[in-house]
Chains A and B, each alone.
Chain A
Amino acid sequence: MSQESHPKGAMKEAASLLMEARVFAYDLLRQFYLREMEMKLYAFLRDEHVVRGFPFADEHELIREGLEQATNYLDSPALSMEEAYDKVHWDFTRLFIGPEAPLAPPWESAYLSEYKLLFQKQTMEVRRIYRKYEFLPANYPHEADDHLGLEMEFMFHLAAQAKAALDEGNLEQASEQLKEQALFLEEHLLKWIPKLVEDILKSAETDFHRGMAKVLQGFLEVDHQAIAELLQAVENERVIC
């Protein structure tokens, strides 16, 4: 990247826009994965074509492919909206909830712990990081902290905080929060999400969930790059200041 070619203000604006895109992406993903989507959200996504607006489609083949798959599902006239919603809802239930063993158990420890259990070392590590930023799961301590939806929500909050810090010119804070997110990606999300996505792709029955799983994986990879660039920009900015 060539910061020299941009005036300082434009650089900052670009960084802020990138951050806004990240916040939006994480916001959307947490909505999809925290719990079963309600009908009104599904209708909104379909009618307002929100998924199509997911950023970074040009940056990663998986995002492009996944968005196409998911939006095709949303737009398909083959099913009534109720039927289509119902399928997405059931797919979520069987993939992530139960009552049988979830086909894609959405917990980090279910993939990374030695015996693939819930409430393991990964859960504690994630909890420690949440606490540092004064967060805990709403149903703490009954639900495992390292659920996909919770990890997405954590990234959403941190992305939003980092953006606010940058916008306010608090570069030190922005830098610290970006580093935390990079670490969270490296030590947590990027370690287990590919395995989870593999299970979703193997077991999902709807193109919506297959598509969104691809988007999830592609986006995390793009975001890792985005954070690296943002960090560098912020560091440069700090040096310049």
Chain B
Amino acid sequence: MDPGEQAADLRLENHEIAAHRWSKEWLFQDGDDLFEHDFGVHEGYGPGAFRVHRQGVGGPDALSCAECHHRGGPNGSGDLSENAFFEGDGSDPASAFERNPPHILGLGIEERLAAEMSAALANARAGAITAARSSHSPVQIALRAKGVSFGSLTVRPDGSQDDAQLEGVDSDLVVKPFGWKGSAATLREFLTDGFQVHFGIQFSRPEAVGDGRPWDRDGDGSPNEITDGMMSAIVLYVARLEIPVISPPKDSDLLARFGHGLEVFQDTGCATCHVTSLPLRNPTLKITTGLTSNVLTEGEAPRPRFDVSNSDGTPIFLFSDLKRHAMGAALADARPTYITTIAYGLPNGPKERTKIPADVFLTRPLWDLADTAPYLHDGRAPTIDAAIELHGGEADASRAHFDALSSEDKAALRIFLLSLSRYPRIEFR
């Protein structure tokens, strides 16, 4: 009973993956084990435990991923009691950003969708720069990706840009689908941060938090707490999880109401931001050298049958535009969030500190909404109706439409939203 025995089994390196030493199935299993694993101090957990995070360091505040992602089944959302308190003072919940754990299904698809949108925006800018150079005058372009407008951008002949008219995306034009405020573009980045702030488990890399020796930044005496290879396994695992489905009622009366609910969803204006579907053209997610995953066709059952024959892309029923919106003062955090971005999104550009205003949030994808109460970023809304009522800012008009709906229409809308769910799964435990 060596307590390190299981941890040792879970360790693997990226160069082993590149040499195809592990099958995808094995890596998925490794990620699954890590997801459920209660991390111990001997594995680099800690130091300490802080329910309210400390600025720049994090908690730790949980023992395993599964602890806060369990609602509605494995990898689901978290309850109110599992809300995380990010970037606080270590004790007072009011000092921190309170966040309800979202479910983690379909994230590989979200990363690919966002990457395609970022590429479209970067292309548009590159084209504008060329035009500005040849015309020796500033060029203004409208920015659109997958039918979603991100405002407009003016580029000057010297390559600099005026981003005052940008909407819902940072000046790097990188669409970031992860985090309630849309703070990370890739699963690897997001999960790496998660291991740091929730477990105090970190890479032996310079960007790890702390001023300890390079192999033990947090100075807890546990070197090389997690390897790139383990993180690759976790990214692959998350990317291959089941995908939420639309599962309407069977009863004919309820089914009619479901259909009407979808119309109400669109007519009321919900679908302006919670865009019903986005087309995915290239489902291949690159995870590390020698490891990719087709986020549509590979992975665990159950998953919807995707129509991959359409050359315009496979529609993904995400119910989000992957864009940030101002949601009004009532939903705002106490202060803005700052994230690190790369200037102009250039591969070797300088790092910048980018502000996300206090009232600005990413349009929450609604797939599997049925299993994710309590709702909104801090779980303040116990019911679907309460969640809609709390929408403000850019959603003011839609909320007003909702308020004016008949009780029949509201019921239909609820029935439609409750169909956004996941298949039941049998487990033995």
* A and B interact: no
